[in-house]
Amino acid sequence: MADVLKRLSDEMADVVDTAGASVVRVEARRRLPASGIVMAADGVIVTASHVVEREDNIDVGLPGGEAVSAKLVGRDATTDLAVLRAEAGGLTPAAWADMDSLRVGNLALALGRPGRTVQATLGVVSALGAEWRTHAGGKIDRYLQTDVVMYPGFSGGPLVGAGGAVLGLNSSALLPGVSVAVPVATLRGVAESLLAHGRVRRGYLGVGAQPARLPAAVAEQLGQETGLLIVSVEPDSPADKGGLTLGDTVVALAGNAVRHMDDLLAQLGGDVVGTGVPVRIVRGGQVQEAQVVIAERP
């Protein structure tokens, strides 16, 4: 038994050594430094957006101990991701895990480098789920929760599987009090968009809305009980230009039912920016349809 435990202990230490070569220190806020993950050997770093409080005078501490300056390429606060470009080369990019085989109960290590050396904490994958939206409206491809202790400075660092590959990026800001990680698919997709455009394009309708129950006759006609009641319309917004008005209830966008705000946000991806889409509304108890050209979210 002692031999088994020692072998497991040594193998986990090996995982930390291997994965730790891709973990850097990020100094971009007044308080304790945070962590980041090397995405490319030429200095591309991904970290948590909330730990990047300044856009200049950013320093990155490399695994070898030296410190280099870095610039902010772009950020997406809705998914709590930011991309930096450090003035360094020859870095070790992280290996990305295959999430398809991940199961609840699998071991996971959270790594961070708030100081000069890598730090680690052990836990298990405590919950997995479908895609979800953050309180800021960002789409996360998969819910990934662990019971690892998020020590100060670990935000922006990797969640690593038993094989040493990165499962996601740890964030203490997405769900306060819960250890969640931004999974690899979301991390890489957002990072690639930030590298290409400096931002993540998202659609924009320009309304304030809240869920509302539909009249019984309309609910039976549409086969849904709720829609989104428009409580405000921004001047010169796509909704305003498309004729939507206060008191309308949105029940579908581009043919997809809208029952809650998440349904609406899910339809406003970057791919619909600049396109005209039909918006089905209930106005005065009657189902009508308007055409709205989706703009890019400011």
Q: What is the largest CA-CA distance in the chain?
A: 75
In a domain, 130, yes or no: yes
**Does 151 fall in a domain?**
yes
Query: Which residues, at least 6 apart from 261, have a Cβ–Cβ distance to it below 8 Å?
Result: 209, 210, 211, 228
Q: What does the alpha-carbon distance between residue 232 and residue 248 come to, in Å, rounded to a whole number?
A: 10
At 58, which CATH number?
Answer: 2.40.10.10
Regarding whether 172 and 239 lie in a shared domain, the answer is no
Count of domains for the chain: 3
Q: How far apart are CA 267 and CA 259, in angstroms?
A: 12
Residue 42's nearest CA partner among 98, 91, 111, 110 is: 91
Q: Does residue 92 form part of some domain?
A: no
Are residue 157 and residue 220 in the same domain, yes or no?
no
Q: Which domain holds residue 139?
A: 99-183
The residue whose two tokens read 């945070």 is: 34
Q: Same domain, yes or no, for 57 and 117?
A: no
pTM: 0.80
Does some domain include residue 59?
yes
- In this prediction, residues 220-247 reach a mean pLDDT of 95
Is 190 part of any domain? no
Alpha-carbon gap, residue 67 to 55, rounded angstroms: 17
Q: What percent of the chain has pLDDT over 70?
A: 100
Residues 57 and 136 in one domain: no
Last-in-domain residue among 53, 86, 119: 86
* Spatial distance between the Cα atoms of 60 and 114, rounded to a whole number of angstroms: 10
Predicted local confidence at residue 144, as pLDDT: 97
* Catalytic-residue membership of 50: yes
**262 within domain boundaries:** yes
Window from 5-9, 76-80, 190-194 with minimum mean pLDDT: 5-9
Please write the tens of the pLDDT for every residue from 3-15.
888 888 899 999 9
Decide the pairing of beta strands 226-233 and 207-213.
Answer: antiparallel
Catalytic residue among 76, 80, 248, 263: 80
Please check whether residue 217 lies inside any domain of the structure: yes
Catalytic residue among 22, 49, 155, 237: 155
Pair 142, 81 in one domain? no
Show contacts of 214-220: CB within 8 Å, 24+ apart: 214/249, 214/251, 214/282, 215/282, 215/285, 217/285, 218/282, 218/285, 218/287
Q: Are strands 34-40 and 44-47 parallel, antiparallel or unpaired?
A: antiparallel
Spot the catalytic one: 22, 35, 49, 50: 50
Are β-strands 132-133 and 139-140 bridged in parallel, bridged antiparallel, or unpaired? antiparallel
Q: Among 86, 118, 149, identify where a domain stops.
A: 86
Residue 58 has pLDDT above 90, yes or no: yes
Q: Token pair for residue 170?
A: 């740890």
**Are residues 146 and 209 both part of a single domain?**
no
For residue range 117-147, list pLDDT tens digits in order.
999 999 999 999 998 988 877 889 999 999 9
Predicted confidence band at 31 (pLDDT cuts at 50, 70, 90)? confident
pLDDT in tens, 212-232: 999 999 999 999 999 999 999
* Pair (167, 136) in one structural domain: yes
Residue 208 domain-assigned (yes or no): yes
Question: Which of 62, 86, 110 is the last residue before a domain boundary?
Answer: 86
What CATH number does residue 263 fall under? 2.30.42.10
Split at pLDDT 50, 70, 90, the class of 297 is confident
